[in-house]
């Protein structure tokens, strides 16, 4: 994530040379700004932050603000049809069981929730569950950004019991008597 922020600022320096140095002339100030951006953009993966930076550069002649960068990252997600990490987290926490039958906005919400653990999401506070969910969300996001098609697995169907394999009434009585004898009842 830190590397992504450094790459974003390198892109800004190349594309907005004069504005960049006018805005952040001191290295101490630049470090503070990078920490602020790192904290504000922590919901997004490194790849998505870079996509957002490229979008912001292509859309504006001026150095983007943090707010514009947040919008660019969110727009990049929605263009891909993906929910943001906080939206996917909320969706995963609120999804009814069985999870495979729930109506998901995108499979990434299901997959991240499944891999983070449904029990964790349902029974632990956000400050405990969010890091695990975000890690899984970023894992699946990387795969989606590489072009992988994500899908929610189909719910396994139970097969009807085989009538020929079931015991008849007399067989069940014999088995029960044998069990009673074995247990000395």
**Residue-level pLDDT at 159:** 77
Domain ranges of the chain: 2-79, 85-145
- What are the helix (H) ranges across 25-148? 27-40, 46-59, 66-79, 85-94, 107-116, 118-123, 126-145
* DSSP code at position 146: T
**Residue-level pLDDT at 95:** 94
**Residue-level pLDDT at 177:** 92
Nearest CA-CA partner of 52 in 12, 20, 92: 12
Which three-class secondary structure state does DSSP give residue 56? helix
**Residue-level pLDDT at 164:** 65
pTM of this prediction?
A: 0.59
Per-residue pLDDT of the chain (185 residues; tens, 9 = 90+): 889 999 999 999 999 989 988 898 888 888 999 999 999 988 788 888 998 999 999 999 999 999 999 889 888 878 878 898 899 999 999 999 889 889 999 999 999 999 999 999 999 999 999 999 999 998 998 888 777 889 988 877 777 777 666 788 898 899 999 999 999 87
**Residue-level pLDDT at 134:** 93
Q: Are 77 and 83 in contact (CB under 8 A)?
A: yes
């Amino acid at each position: 994530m830190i590397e992504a922020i450094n790459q974003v600022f390198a892109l800004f320096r190349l594309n907005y040379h004069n504005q960049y140095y006018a805005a952040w002339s001191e290295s101490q100030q630049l470090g503070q700004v990078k920490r602020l951006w790192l904290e504000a953009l922590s919901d997004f993966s490194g790849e998505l932050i870079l996509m957002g930076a490229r979008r912001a550069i292509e859309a504006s002649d001026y150095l983007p603000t943090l707010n514009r960068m947040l919008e660019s990252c969110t727009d990049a997600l929605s263009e891909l049809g993906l929910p943001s990490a906080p939206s996917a987290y909320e969706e995963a926490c609120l999804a009814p069981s069985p999870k495979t039958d729930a109506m998901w906005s995108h499979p990434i919400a299901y997959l991240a929730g499944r891999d983070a653990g449904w029990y964790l999401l349902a029974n632990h506070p956000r400050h405990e569950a969010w890091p695990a969910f975000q890690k899984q969300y970023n894992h699946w996001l990387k795969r989606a950004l590489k072009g992988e098609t994500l899908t929610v697995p189909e719910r396994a169907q139970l097969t009807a019991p085989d009538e020929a394999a079931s015991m008849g009434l007399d067989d069940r009585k014999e088995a029960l008597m044998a069990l009673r004898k074995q247990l000395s009842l």
